[in-house]
Amino acid sequence: MNLVDIVRSYGIALKKVGRVYQGICPFHDDSNPSFTVYPDTNTFHCFGCGMTGDWRKFLKLVDPQYCDQFSLDLSSLQDFIDQTSARDYKTYLLLSSATFFRTLFRKVPASKVLKIMQLFDEYITSRDSIPFEEMTQVLKKLKTIGGKLE
């Protein structure tokens, strides 16, 4: 996953400075850009508070419910995600939705789940690629649908 895109999707402005991107750290009160993203290694480090990590740690810190909302261990998906391009998250969306639908089958009648799966399938097959921002919107929509069906 492209950490620069992920950080920006949470409203954090990043400015390219040489080979890195810098911005205001989301983890502490910051007035100077001490938060640095290294696109070559897909990692971040804050020189103000010392927080450091990769995209998984960033998501867990900035949006703790994101990693848990579909009961996924994101680290187990790394091989699949590495195989997708930096701009295409279709594979990740498919894997995430599989877990969502498996959970949904336990909660609601199969006929309702199958209708949702049909709509999802039509959406996925109509797309060549899915950017990160769109992927997060679809996952949030699936979570909303699941909550309404309970």
Domain count, the chain: 2
Considering the domain architecture, whether residues 57 and 109 belong to the same structural domain is answered as no
Tens digits of per-residue pLDDT, 10-23?
889 999 999 999 99
Considering the domain architecture, whether residues 77 and 144 belong to the same structural domain is answered as yes
Return the closest-CA partner of residue 26 out of 78, 68, 80, 63: 63
- Amino acid at residue number 141: K
- The domain that holds 49 is classified in CATH as 3.90.580.10
Considering the domain architecture, whether residues 130 and 145 belong to the same structural domain is answered as yes
| pLDDT reported for residue 95 | 75
The pTM for the full model equals: 0.47
| pLDDT reported for residue 75 | 55
Tens digits of per-residue pLDDT, 125-140?
888 777 777 888 888 8
Which of 62, 90, 108 terminates a domain? The answer is 62
Top pLDDT among 85 and 58 is at: 58
Angstrom distance (rounded) from CA 22 to CA 79 = 28
Q: Residue 37 belongs to what domain range?
A: 3-62
Which of 62, 95, 113 terminates a domain? The answer is 62
